[in-house]
Amino acid sequence: MKRLLCMITLLPFGFFGSCNSRDQQQDNSKAAVTEPQKISASQAKALMDEGKPYTLLDVRTVEEFNGGRIKGAMLIPVDELSSRAEKELPDKNATILVYCRSGARSARAAQILADLGFTAIYDFGGLMGWPYEIVNE
């Protein structure tokens, strides 16, 4: 009813769009949810080799991580990601490359990050499909 009165009152003056400005501002203030992107191991390796900043996130267990990982990876097990991500990954616009063992947990982790508002998430599956070097430090 309020909108109808606004339209009737302002229409003769050419201010029809004014009735919606507050609603549009509220809609525009909502952050768009960015979906994680599924990429191949070779695409992930190419991103790592570009020289641009990125975070390499391993979402496996501590035991799996200690048994071998991609050099430079940080560990946040998928079951702890919701509670630790915003503290340990403070830049929600940073490039994050996510992996696990086979790809199931990385997909879940990538979606958790997207739901938390992270915007540049790349899921490249698991170490089973990683043909490059793995370290045991």
**Enclosing H/E stretch for 24:** helix 21-29
Q: What is the pLDDT of residues 41-91, one digit of tens each?
A: 999 999 999 999 999 999 999 999 999 999 999 999 999 999 999 999 999
Q: What is the pTM of this model?
A: 0.76
**Are 48 and 55 a contacting pair, CB within 8 Å?**
no
Please state the domain extents for the chain. Answer: 1-30, 37-129
Class of domain 37-129: alpha beta
* The one catalytic residue among 56, 57, 70, 100: 100
Structure-token match 């097990």, residue found: 77
List the structure tokens of 1.
Answer: 């009813």
| Cβ neighbours of 69 (radius 10 Å) | 21
- Give the CA distances from residue 106 to residues 67, 81, 103, 111, 120, in Å, rounded to whole numbers and listed in that order: 18, 11, 5, 9, 14
Q: What is the pLDDT of residues 96-125, one digit of tens each?
A: 999 999 999 999 999 999 999 999 999 999
100 tagged catalytic? yes
| Cβ neighbours of 79 (radius 10 Å) | 12
What DSSP character marks residue 31? P
Distance of CA 11 to the CA centre of its chain: 44
